[in-house]
Structure 1
Amino acid sequence: MKTYNFKKGLTLLMASVLLFSCTPFDSLTDDPNKATSVPPSMLLSEVLNNVGDGGPWSSAQRDNQFWVISFDYYGNQDYNWGAINSYKYNTLANVVAMEKEAQGLDNQDKYEALGKFFKAYFYDYMTKRVGDIPLSESLKADASPAITKPKYDSQKEVYLAILDLLEAANDQITKAKAKVGNSAILGDFFFNGDLDKWQRTINSFHLRVLINLSKKNTELGIASKFNTIISNPAKYPLLRGIEDNMVRHFADEQGNRYSLNPSNYGFNRNRNIMGATYLNLLKNNNDPRIYIVADPAPFYFKANDPKNLNAYVAANTGDDQGQMQTDSDAGKYSYPNESRYYSNFKGEPYIQIGYSEQEFTIAEAINRGWVNGGNAEIHYLNAIKASMAFYAVAQDDIDSFLLKPNVTYKGNTTAGLNQILTQKYIAFFNNSGRESYFNYRRTGIPAFNVGPANNNGGKIPNRWKYPVSEFENNSSHVKAALSSQFGGSDDINAAMWMIK
């Protein structure tokens, strides 16, 4: 896979700014020094650059309780969330522009299929963070008549539209492959234009959306929709292994270095501490991944017993940072594995949508009785093996791990479901944005740590607040949305429709 060049990214960003200026394309003069169109490939690259939700070792991964921060100067451990950083409508405007610029081209279907997927992706990104959002009247500031203050659609309406978009994206990408084959689509730094991998990613994401709506199975017929995809692999091809993962690669180039690297070793080495919610799950099962992702705490390490699990000590997310810093200075905590994360600028690939997640999702659906004739254990084991393969765990260690009593699948029972969700959380380590948190929010598994540093009344919040800009520019509609959902309060602990 090609590495994304972030120097080019600046050029792409400048191109995208044209889309949001006060002067629309059709009113530009014929001055040859002014751009009157932007190639769809450039717009695609800019859209791809906005996929995701924080990278490895970001605040998103702290919210997932994979790591903690000991210095309060650089961040905190609290869950007193404010407003969502931003909506994604600027990115969606680029998606619409990409579709427009592709009209009439031989590969129009390719761009339009991806356009439908990205609309589904970014609407999902927004709605599962705040609740109701504008959709039916969004992106119509240039319409006639112009809509600059769009109404909010209910979260149910938003997800019905998302599911329709994903179905249409799969149909259109099939049409594109039949029409012009699987030739490369320009501007794609994830799959180098491979439409087959894009189709598999779209359908894998479709399964993610469906499983996140598990509480609405009866209302939306989620089980039937899920079974339709699983039972027809010819129409809905899925990821086949970690080689199909949608990943971002890093390299020693400006703006594209892995977040932990030799240049910042002295800056964050002793303030990034492994999180107990994650590390203790590895420790309890003597999971071989523990030796790959973490270093033993120097205070407890014994050279004659280098794999002593008692030397792997994590900090709780809810711990007071003052005491945490004291213990860190004394060498009583495990840090990220130095050789893996600080020896070069490449680090490890960052998974956006991956095979392991997909297989755990299918295993969960089978466990819940959604799939006709499926074998949950096979998909559960596929998922664990895929995660192990990502870390290049030795085959003997994988075989031994799968035989452990807490790992051997306990059948389509509540205990079996707990195993699936726990192992899914482990496999999410430092990838896939906040999907770990969203799975916890939906299922309560694994239990997230709450302590003195929580700063939210001992609760893990259910949502973020709406952007401040909405109260300034679209006040009546955002207030109506709050009234219909949460009794008028922009409460981070309120439960949105999808998790009720």
Structure 2
Amino acid sequence: MDKFIKRFTVALTMVALLVSSCKDLDELNINPNGVDPAIADLNFLLPTVQTQTGQTIYNIGFGTFAGVMQHTQHTGWAGGHNNYEWNSLSHSWNGYYSILMNNNEYFNKSVKEGNAFHEGVARIMRAYLFGLITDIWGDAPYRDALKAEYGAEYFRPVFDPQQEIYQGILADLDTANTLLSKSASEYRNIVPKQDVVYKGDVSKWRKFANSLALRYYMRLQAKEPQFAEAGVRRIAENPSQYPVITVAGDDATISFPGTSESVSNPLNTVYDTDPAGAYMRVKLAKTLVDVLRDYDDPRLEVWADKIEIPLVLVQGTEVDRIVDGKREVSQDVVTAFEETNEMEVDFHPEYAGVPVSHSRVQIFNMNNANSAQGTVNPHASHLNSRYRKTTDPLVLMRLISACETNLILAEAAYRGWISGDPAQYYADGVRESLNAWGVGSEFDDYIGRVPYDGLESIIEQKWIASWTTAHEAWFDWRRTGLPDLKTGPSAIRPVLPIRWYYHTNDEVEKNRVNAEAAIERLESTPYVGTDPTKNSAWSRMWLLQGTGKPY
């Protein structure tokens, strides 16, 4: 996944955050062989911002956070993914601010040229990106970020309080809703082919803005419940003024073109032919697979291939043989494996997920044919073969969905914030997830197996539906403690992490005074372990302080 983000993210120089040089920001960003941003049509900036954002979301949602939320585990080079072996050099926000710099150019041009559509979209993307940064790290440069061209006083911007960043995000989204509220004929300079999300459909972008606002009001549920309730109610009770995404056809997604390595699904095995490549390292996690099996969830066969060689328990002793495409083993062989490796064997004939945070995950289910790191395990579930292709109709960069919006409304109704039946919103959310993954015809049967049962059912379905966007499940887990996920034996702490460290080189050393002030505002927990300061993945940001969540 690191290879993926490096491949896709434009390496722009982060003067505002990274250096103390006096060179002008615009000068540093000019490509002598490219189009001058000052004269380029803003429509050419739009797909750059969109695809960079989509690729970032795919990278974290199907990468690190899919490990934390136990959707997937890696069977090679697994420390950061499976066991949270992070430190202050593990993750940097450079790429996020690089995208924001492109978006800032896009925003400024849209304002200067009086293009309301483009300004609305730029505000949505700005809110989306700053939202990710503060969700993941906490306090961060916001008001004075991206301003280095105005002078040296902006080279080391203040880390703004998280509360103020959320307020700014919601203000941007409210303004975007207004900007995008006119009839389509009133907008100019929209080039549909340059909008890789909605093809220039203004009404869908407006729904995106308000659905994103719902996300951030609910993000504040545990910290500022009255404020969150008022915001959700204002949107939910005024659908004509604040339309939202309610059907999967309006989901904000971006396709991988698949025409070259740089624009393909990064797990593909067409360009990455290494037998220990990215696709081979990713396996479905036992936590997710067990739940999907229990519910006979039709999405499981969309996300996973069936086991190549199932295990079958047979009578006798010292039996271990392949018969008719199945591996027959006797109980004594199974017991010896389980006791030696402290790992249970799974005899499900079709799908089996690997255990979480386990040091010997690569030999799960007695894999002795390819026990090296990151290779095929014929007795475990691999990702569905669609993920081996450069592009596929269901392998998308997913920014926000109807499923999420409906389940937010279900939670709001459950809490008594809005009128309406939470069970109906819940069912709508489940249906739209199934529709998004091409199995909508299974809804009537499936909903009977997963009936509405309060908050736990809502959050569980959001967790399931966040496949490839697991960071959203992580954000929900932090504020609710749901699902009740447990760490595995190799995890470096007994509980899941709740933030990323500020990066020593990129975020602390080059802006020490402001970074240390932000670190001081963090709150230590009993799980910071050997971390020398409050800059820990187990320290509480403002959003979690005083909530009692997730621990």
Normalised by the length of structure 2, the TM-score is 0.77
Equivalent-residue separation in structure 2 for 1:24 and 1:104 (angstroms): 19
- 1:473 offset after TM fit, Å? 1.6
Tell me, yes or no, if structure 1 residue 293 matches structure 2 residue 265: no
Equivalent-residue separation in structure 2 for 1:27 and 1:320 (angstroms): 45
Equivalent-residue separation in structure 2 for 1:282 and 1:213 (angstroms): 29
- 1:210 offset after TM fit, Å? 1.1
Tell me, yes or no, if structure 1 residue 95 matches structure 2 residue 100: no
Tell me, yes or no, if structure 1 residue 368 matches structure 2 residue 412: no
Equivalent-residue separation in structure 2 for 1:19 and 1:27 (angstroms): 9
CA contact under 8 A between 2:143 and 2:160: conserved in structure 1? yes
CA contact under 8 A between 1:283 and 1:309: conserved in structure 2? no
Equivalent-residue separation in structure 1 for 2:28 and 2:487 (angstroms): 56
1:350 to 394, 397, 411: 397
CA contact under 8 A between 1:37 and 1:101: conserved in structure 2? no
CA contact under 8 A between 2:466 and 2:473: conserved in structure 1? yes
CA contact under 8 A between 1:81 and 1:461: conserved in structure 2? no
2:463 to 425, 428, 441: 425
Residue correspondence of structure 1 range 153-172 to structure 2 within 5 A: 153-172=160-179
Tell me, yes or no, if structure 1 residue 221 matches structure 2 residue 227: yes
Equivalent-residue separation in structure 1 for 2:117 and 2:416 (angstroms): 35
Please tell me the residue identity of whatever aligns with 1:105: E
2:503 to 440, 445, 467: 467
2:473 to 436, 441, 444: 436
- 1:498 offset after TM fit, Å? 1.0
| Cα 1:388–1:329 shift into 2, 3 Å | farther
Taking every aligned residue pair, what percent have the same amino acid on both sides?
23
CA contact under 8 A between 2:13 and 2:28: conserved in structure 1? no
- 1:490 offset after TM fit, Å? 0.6
CA contact under 8 A between 2:177 and 2:206: conserved in structure 1? yes
- 1:215 offset after TM fit, Å? 0.6
- 1:126 offset after TM fit, Å? 0.8
Equivalent-residue separation in structure 2 for 1:320 and 1:27 (angstroms): 45
Give ranges in structure 1 of 5+ residues lacking alignment. Answer: 1-5, 411-415
Please tell me the residue identity of whatever aligns with 2:146: L
| Cα 1:17–1:98 shift into 2, 3 Å | farther
Residue correspondence of structure 1 range 142-181 to structure 2 within 5 A: 142-143=149-150, 146-175=153-182, 177=184, 179-180=186-187
Equivalent-residue separation in structure 2 for 1:329 and 1:285 (angstroms): 31
Tell me, yes or no, if structure 1 residue 239 matches structure 2 residue 245: yes
CA contact under 8 A between 2:252 and 2:398: conserved in structure 1? yes
- 1:99 offset after TM fit, Å? 2.3
Equivalent-residue separation in structure 2 for 1:27 and 1:463 (angstroms): 31
Q: What is residue 57 of structure 2 aligned with on the other side?
A: 53
Equivalent-residue separation in structure 2 for 1:484 and 1:342 (angstroms): 44
| Cα 1:98–1:316 shift into 2, 3 Å | same
Q: What is residue 495 of structure 1 aligned with on the other side?
A: 540
Please tell me the residue identity of whatever aligns with 1:377: A
Tell me, yes or no, if structure 1 residue 273 matches structure 2 residue 283: yes
Give ranges in structure 2 of 5+ residues lacking alignment. Answer: 17-21, 313-322, 327-346, 370-377, 525-532, 546-551
Look up the SS of the partner of 1:350 in the other structure: strand
CA contact under 8 A between 1:270 and 1:328: conserved in structure 2? no
CA contact under 8 A between 1:366 and 1:374: conserved in structure 2? yes
CA contact under 8 A between 1:110 and 1:176: conserved in structure 2? no
Normalised by the length of structure 1, the TM-score is 0.84
- 1:146 offset after TM fit, Å? 3.9
Cα RMSD after superposing both structures:
3.5
Q: Deviations over 1:8-42 (max 9, x none)?
A: x99x959x77999934669999x999835332222
CA contact under 8 A between 1:25 and 1:37: conserved in structure 2? no
Q: What is residue 413 of structure 1 aligned with on the other side?
A: none
2:219 to 212, 222, 229: 212
Of the structure 1 ranges 271-280 and 73-82, higher mean CA displacement relative to structure 2 is found in 73-82
Equivalent-residue separation in structure 1 for 2:151 and 2:481 (angstroms): 46
Number of residue pairs matched?
474
Equivalent-residue separation in structure 2 for 1:113 and 1:237 (angstroms): 15
Tell me, yes or no, if structure 1 residue 313 matches structure 2 residue 352: yes
Equivalent-residue separation in structure 2 for 1:471 and 1:381 (angstroms): 46
Of the structure 1 ranges 93-102 and 357-366, higher mean CA displacement relative to structure 2 is found in 93-102
Q: What is residue 435 of structure 2 aligned with on the other side?
A: 389
CA contact under 8 A between 2:486 and 2:495: conserved in structure 1? no
Equivalent-residue separation in structure 2 for 1:370 and 1:180 (angstroms): 35
- 1:477 offset after TM fit, Å? 0.9
Q: Deviations over 1:152-171 (max 9, x none)?
A: 22111111111111111111
CA contact under 8 A between 1:13 and 1:46: conserved in structure 2? no
Tell me, yes or no, if structure 1 residue 409 matches structure 2 residue 409: no
- 1:125 offset after TM fit, Å? 0.9
CA contact under 8 A between 1:463 and 1:492: conserved in structure 2? yes
Q: What is residue 120 of structure 1 aligned with on the other side?
A: 127
Equivalent-residue separation in structure 2 for 1:76 and 1:239 (angstroms): 32
Look up the SS of the partner of 2:305 in the other structure: coil
| Cα 1:495–1:18 shift into 2, 3 Å | closer
